[in-house]
Structures are given as structure tokens and as C-alpha cells.
């Protein structure tokens, strides 16, 4: 059952990362087009992306909590 929880957490992080990557790409395109300067919003999105990357790494490194037989 624990594998299901890990899978769900991984899928949620993956989905969040996709959303953040879309926002960063949109901001990059606006900047490349000269429409937008790097704003507080872009800096916030980049910080959120870094936070989610760190969370994903920690999640992968965390040992499984599966029941061990003795």
C-alpha cells in the first residue's frame, strides 16, 4: 500500500513541476520578445521550481516505509 502513496506523491510533484516549467517557459518567451523584464513573479516562479526540485530529490532519497518481516 505504501508504494501507492509514494507513486501518488511522485505524480503530484511531477505535475507541479510541469506547471512550473510551463510558467517559466512562458516568462522566458515574454522576456525574449522584449515584452517583459524579469519581475518579482518570475523570480518567485524560479524559486518555487528550485523548491520543488529539492522536494523531488528528497522524496527519491527517502527510504521506503514498507513493512519489514522479522
- The reply to whether 65 falls in a domain is no
Please tell me the pTM assigned to this model: 0.46
- The reply to whether 22 falls in a domain is yes
Distances (CA, A) of 26 to 22, 36, 37, 60: 6, 10, 13, 28
Q: Total domain count for the chain?
A: 1
- The reply to whether 70 falls in a domain is no
- The reply to whether 68 falls in a domain is no
The larger pLDDT score, comparing residue 30 to residue 65, is at 30
pLDDT digits (tens, 9 = 90+) for 4-49: 678 888 888 899 989 989 988 988 888 777 776 667 777 788 888 8
Give the domain extent around 7. Answer: 2-59
- The reply to whether 67 falls in a domain is no
Q: Residues near 14 by Cβ (< 8 Å), separated by ≥ 6?
A: 56
Query: Are the beta carbons of 37 and 5 closer than 8 angstroms?
Result: no
SS (H, E, C) 22-65: HHHHHHHHHHHCCCCCCCHHHHHHHHHHHHHHHHHHHHHHCCCC
- The reply to whether 69 falls in a domain is no
Amino acid at each position: 500500500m505504501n508504494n501507492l502513496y509514494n507513486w501518488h506523491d511522485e505524480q503530484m510533484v511531477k505535475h507541479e513541476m510541469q506547471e512550473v516549467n510551463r510558467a517559466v517557459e512562458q516568462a522566458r518567451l515574454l522576456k525574449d520578445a522584449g515584452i517583459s523584464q524579469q519581475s518579482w513573479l518570475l523570480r518567485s516562479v524560479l524559486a518555487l521550481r528550485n523548491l520543488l526540485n529539492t522536494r523531488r530529490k528528497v522524496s527519491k532519497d527517502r527510504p521506503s516505509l514498507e513493512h519489514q518481516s522479522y
